[in-house]
Amino acid sequence: MQSVLVNGRILTPQGIVDGKAVVIRDGRIAALLAPADTPADAARHDLDGGLLVPGFIDTQVNGGGGVLFNDSTTVEAIAAIGAAHRSYGTTGFLPTLISDDLAVVDAAMRATEQAIEAGVPGVLGVHIEGPFLNAKRKGIHDASKFRTLDDQAVALLSSLKRGKTLVTLAPETTTPERVRRLAEAGVIVAAGHTNAAYGTVRKALDAGLTGFTHLFNAMSPLTSREPGVVGAALESQTAWCGIIVDGRHVDPAVLRIALRTRPLDRFMLVTDAMPTVGMADKSFDLQGRHIRVVDGVCVDDHGTLAGSDLDMIGAVRNAVAMMGLSLEDAVRIASAAPAAFLGLAGQRGAIQAGQAADLVLLDEALTVRRTWIDGVAS
């Protein structure tokens, strides 16, 4: 099956180009050609002068559309979450499970496998955020669920048969050897909800840790004599740092400073989204606690941050307005950067021949008008 997208501006790795058409064949981008050179028998879709950008990839999605993954580790829940976020330009995501019992972790992983096998649009794998965390930096997580990363847990986390597994852990609660075992098994390991000393993080990086979950939040800070997790993250030029750009989780000035310390493409936008995304009802229950949205962020009755009400196109707009990025760079850290973090740089995250046809059409106000996942339009 072939289709051609015409009459749009296209954001390619080389910048925005005009006068080209995107040829889609069997779910992938076959070519960028002059409209006159495109296959005559292909279905043509007029983009009406809009901006076509790579689909956004969100590695931290706790919920959406009224569904919380911890409450429903099913294929149907994953599909509902993905559908809610697709409206905001997310064409690839990791349903994210916050700290829970290992039986729930197992159920989440099996549901992810089944969702991918069933062809649920956009599912790239699963993010297991905890329960291997530090109670001193627990945030909204239930510390009663926390446990050490033992051999049983390593085996479970290494068991996904389809898609990518991302695990957020506190390096000080385990050993470099276990981090290395996870990495060698193909698990992507990130540090988060951690009070680790700088040296501990450095050893974890050497062992295969490649990411930092919601940089600055729930981690030991950078100080004059203790670099902490933040210091190790900013010093690293190779690990990826997820950032929540909503103006509340991290002050924009702090994010702007962070951008000056390391390559831009080693940052990636994440939402840390909760069930309220895509819903009029801006409240829900999380493991027995009532959560509501206040000024765009989710908080419990004590004011503790509990994820966000952020969507990816909102994060892109905020990256431009709050961080001073160009639209091209904001899209880059919403698409190409997370694709690279997941080991999918050659497959997703850019509009170029050979990549999956995961695309988002934006208007001048940076509103999502249409999306494609594997070449299928919404």
Q: Where in the sequence numbering do the catalytic residues fall? A: 272
CA dihedral 63, 66, 70, 72 (to 10 degrees): -120
Closest CA to 89 of 334, 348, 321, 337: 334
CA atoms within 13 A on the CB side of 319: 29
Q: Which amino acid is at 309?
A: D
Rounded to the nearest angstrom, the gap between the alpha carbon of residue 271 and the centroid of all alpha carbons in its chain is 7
240 neighbors 210 (Cβ within 8 angstroms): yes
| CA atoms 308, 312, 314, 315: torsion sign | positive
DSSP H stretches of helix in 159-290:
176-184, 198-207, 228-235, 252-259
Cβ atoms < 10 Å from Cβ of 340: 18
Closest CA to 218 of 116, 105, 320, 305: 305
DSSP for residue 210: -
83 pairs with which residues across the strands? none
